A and B are shown apart, each in its own frame.
Chain A
Amino acid sequence: MSPDPRPRKQIHLAAHFPGVNNTTVWADPPTGRPTTTPAGGTSPGSSLGSQIDFASFVHLARTAERGLFDFFFLAEGLRLREHKGRIHDLDVLGRPESLTVLNALAAVTERLGLAGTVSATFNEPYELARRFASLDHLSGGRAAWNIVTTSDAFTGENFRRGGYLDHADRYTRAAEFLATARALWDSGPAGGPPRRVDHSGRHFVVRGEFGVARSPQGHPVVIQAGDSAEGREFAASAADVIFTRHSGPEAGRAFYADVKRRLPAYGRRPEDLKIMPGVTFVLGDTLAEAQERAVEIRRQQVSPQTALLTLEQVWGVDLSSYDPDGPLPDIDPDPHGELAQGRVRIADPQAVADRWRALSRAKGLSIRETVIETTGRQSFVGTPDSVAREMDHFVQSDAADGFILVPHLTPDGLDPFVERVVPLLQERGVHRTEYTGTTLRSHLGLPDPARPARKD
């Protein structure tokens, strides 16, 4: 075997607390079929824990820290989703406010990074800069902020500000918000008196002194999760990590190359921005067992009711009279149908419907089977050894710098990965065997932010 001219890239790993989509399995398994017990997991009943009790967050965070992960990740919810004018009731619902949970988790972990999504639309730069600087202090340098913007009026109904934000303005606001927050972080007193910030821009006017001392990381780590051209450009200019949906190897490599080539224009090196797709996994003692389990999990994720609801999101009309175990509707989608609120819109419903009907006819699939077949297939399915090998190849072939793992069970869905896959990644020399630094920046290999010299 010829020596690889390049050193092997280290895989960066993060743990996503299971979310409020149908990917999180919540129902007790039917009696006599303890199929949801993950390989290497604990007792069957413990797999379907609370989405809100603090103990669930402690369990996942400590599991991630045991696996020497870079960070723990929390998504944000600002409005319960609605469907056909009523609150959507089929998926896990209800979650805490991210930053408060992360501060509490800082007490029960020592090295793990603590990342939270917080919208730049319904906050002000000063208050978020202060809240993230506070988390960075209270965690000893482990804070990360996934900066997103929200432009829908539906979510805006919960806020003073309302939902008005021109789509084209989303990234100009995010960029100005982040630049203002960084100016505030840079002004925090480190021994000396605070420096005055005097920012006057298109979206914000911020004048005064930042009351929080410079935090251990200087700047908390910034994550960006948008996928549009503007989102990629914003990430290249200002983010430390991209949380992407491109979990397939080919799309991943294209995305990776596209984003990394944008960095030099901003005076940044390729390693200054880590690309981490959100991925799912299913383990088995054999490949066949893993595949069987993956199918069973998909059936749990797509209940008959969820199958119809998924179809209604594409068709835009009420389909409650259809049999989820029967064929797909003959009628075409209503391009103007707006049944779902608080979800990402489907760009071309007719094309999706045509594709699904063709698949259904070709394979003889029911509505539910079609939805199972076409949505949310797991990213890595196999034995611990094959999953470790595939993940390593994925990273070494520049499809990613690491992964944000999304377990399908709360709170112990990550346990089998940490117990069975992490040791194999360590054997391959691509995952740390101990934390060498104390801050999230050090885990990610990111440089310390330069602090502008005092002008006064």
Chain B
Amino acid sequence: MPEPHHPPRLAVALDAPGVPPRHDAAHYTALARLAEHGTLDFVTLGDRFGGPGPDALAVLARIAPDTERIGLVPTVTTTHTEPFHVSTAVATLDWVSRGRAGWTVEVSTTEAEAALVGRPQVLGFARTGKDPHPAASPAEVWSEAGEVADVVGRLWDSWEDDAEIRDRATGRFVDRAKLHHVDFTGRAFSVRGPSIVPRPPQGRPVTVVDVTGETDGPDGGPSPGTGDLPHVGVPPRGGSRERGRSRELGEGARREVAAARADVALVRAEDPQTAGAARADLLARARAHGRAPGGPLVLASLPVELESSGDAAGLAALLGDWFAQGVADGFHLRLADPVRDLARFVEGTVPLLRERGLLRRSYEGTTLREHLGLPRPASIYALAREAAR
């Protein structure tokens, strides 16, 4: 059961499938400010290694100074990127937003994405004959993504919080006993550490895993077919063949990474039973990883299209209903038309949620972890040093 005392966590996606990506900062700033006005926990911005559109982490860094409280969670792909860079970029997003950063771990499985990478030889993309970049299996790249999430967390911890001492008497700027090599060796990469970035404000920015993932079109582009998203509350239509295939291949591996590493898991669901079953499965897997009683917060990720203010009121009722059933710790809304739907949501849904005690009226905390009710974790190296004393 979700803790009864914490209202549902609420997040919203700023991007939408089928809506061409915008390149101007003002568009994203306006949306994020609106979400902040609605006192949501965080916004997400999706991304792929090849785009399209600007880099998601760059966009959320750009709007960080224009917002004050809203959490900022870009998708960051790990398959073709250096784990060290992933770690420092997300840590820096946490610094520039003063503790509001998270990241959604994502992978690149398509041949089209692999073909954009200049390395002649990378994990799973052996150079063979005519086809230099065959796609790797989702299970393989997700397994590696789990290693990336692991080392990223260790790099954040590699500076203890009080490593900087500025001790004039000894001339030392840092206490080097509080800086740690991480010496991480995965199957396909190793990282020595420590990080170049001091421990970020949240200690560890919030790690999010979408356990269902976006359906890949056959050529690696976003799946076609928008405009026919289910209205909220409408029973789901059967997934396309591609979606079925993608789930078979990737979902188990996604769930493993979420169970082991995520602070927040997103479960794409169109009915409460699906969400509840996925949540139970994730928490069981998390226990198997030794995270009991912890484990990720599970947010039901819902496709939402608010064509009228009536829909906005209906959405409030639906969210309240699902939450009362205990199938999710909160919700991530994937809006069909972010500009229109977010305005309707903040105007029509937010006041109703507040009336029912399901949404704060103003932010109490300043960091994303505080919004979500997640403690600030101690550095694993600080804990080890304490234990050794």
Contact = CB atoms under 8 A, between A and B. Distances in A.
Interface string B198-227: 100000000000000000000000000000
Interface string A61-89: 00000000000000001111000001101
Contacts of B81: 127
A204 to B, nearest CB: 3
A89 B197 contact: no
B98 A210 contact: no
Given A89-B173, A158-B192, A305-B170, A99 B23 contact: no
Interface string B83-94: 111001101110
B59 A134 contact: yes
Contacts of A394: none
Interface stretch (B35-43, B114-122, B248-256, B364-372): B114-122
A122 B85 contact: yes
Nearest to A210: B51
A158 B84 contact: yes
B54 interface: yes
Most chain B CB inside 10 Å of its own CB: which residue of A53, A93, A130, A158 = A158
Contacts of B116: 124, 126, 206-208
B54 A54 contact: no
Contacts of B192: 79, 157-158
Interface string B144-178: 00000000000000010000101010111111100
Given A134-B59, A157-B192, A207-B116, A123 B82 contact: yes
A203 B25 CA distance: 34
Contacts of B194: 80, 87
A199 to B, nearest CB: 8
A137 interface: yes
A27 B50 contact: no
B229 interface: no
A26 B52 contact: no
A100 B95 CA distance: 10
A103 B23 contact: no
Contacts of A133: 54
Interface residues of A, number: 67
Given A100-B89, A123-B85, A28 B65 contact: no
A90 B171 contact: yes
Given A97-B92, A107-B63, A134-B55, A89 B196 contact: no
Nearest to A198: B115
Interface in B92-134: 92-93, 95-98, 112, 115-120, 122, 132-133
A305 B84 CA distance: 31
B51 A130 contact: yes
A153 B190 CA distance: 13
A227 B176 CA distance: 33
Nearest to A157: B192
Nearest to A58: B65
B95 A96 contact: yes
B53 interface: yes
A361 B98 CA distance: 53
A108 B84 CA distance: 27
A58 B93 CA distance: 14
B80 interface: yes
A137 B23 contact: yes
B176 A87 contact: yes
A104 interface: yes
B57 interface: yes
Contact of A79 (B63, B96, B196): B196
Nearest to A27: B168
A319 interface: no
B288 interface: no
Contacts of B345: none
A78 B25 contact: no
A233 B172 CA distance: 41
B119 A92 contact: no
A70 to B, nearest CB: 21
Contact of B196 (A80, A92, A199, A208): A80
B269 interface: no
Given A26-B173, A27-B168, A91-B173, A158 B191 contact: yes
Contacts of A205: 115, 118, 120, 132
Interface string A335-349: 000000000000000
A95 interface: yes
A138 to B, nearest CB: 4
Interface in A170-223: 180, 199, 203-213
B19 interface: no
A355 interface: no
A104 B65 contact: yes
A106 interface: yes
A303 interface: yes
B188 interface: yes
A101 interface: yes
Contacts of A206: 115-118
A135 interface: yes
B168 A54 contact: no
A125 interface: yes
Most chain B CB inside 10 Å of its own CB: which residue of A52, A79, A91, A204 = A52
B247 interface: no
Contact of A99 (B50, B58, B189): B58
B312 interface: no
A332 to B, nearest CB: 27
Given A131-B58, A134-B59, A159-B84, A90 B173 contact: yes
Contact of B58 (A27, A52, A134): A134
A304 B169 CA distance: 10
A264 interface: no
A101 B197 CA distance: 12
Contacts of A137: 23-25, 54
A126 B50 contact: yes
A227 B175 CA distance: 35
Contact of B173 (A30, A92, A126, A127): A92
A89 B98 CA distance: 26
A331 to B, nearest CB: 24
B331 interface: no
Contact of A80 (B132, B179, B189): B179
B118 A203 contact: yes
B196 A124 contact: no
B61 A100 contact: yes
B113 to A, nearest CB: 8
Nearest to B84: A158
Contact of B89 (A90, A97, A208): A97
A28 B194 CA distance: 27
24 contacts: A26-B173, A30-B168, A54-B95, A87-B176, A89-B172, A90-B173, A99-B89, A104-B62, A108-B65, A123-B85, A126-B50, A130-B54, A131-B55, A137-B54, A138-B58, A138-B59, A158-B84, A159-B189, A160-B83, A161-B119, A205-B115, A211-B52, A212-B54, A303-B171
Given A125-B118, A157-B192, 17 more contacts: A27-B166, A54-B95, A80-B196, A89-B173, A89-B174, A95-B197, A97-B85, A97-B197, A100-B58, A101-B95, A107-B66, A124-B118, A127-B49, A131-B55, A303-B171, A304-B171, A305-B170
Closest 6 CB pairs of A and B: A211-B51, A204-B118, A211-B52, A305-B171, A134-B54, A157-B192
Interface of B: 23-25, 29, 49-55, 57-59, 61-66, 80-85, 88-89, 91-93, 95-98, 112, 115-120, 122, 132-133, 159, 164, 166, 168, 170-176, 179, 188-194, 196-198
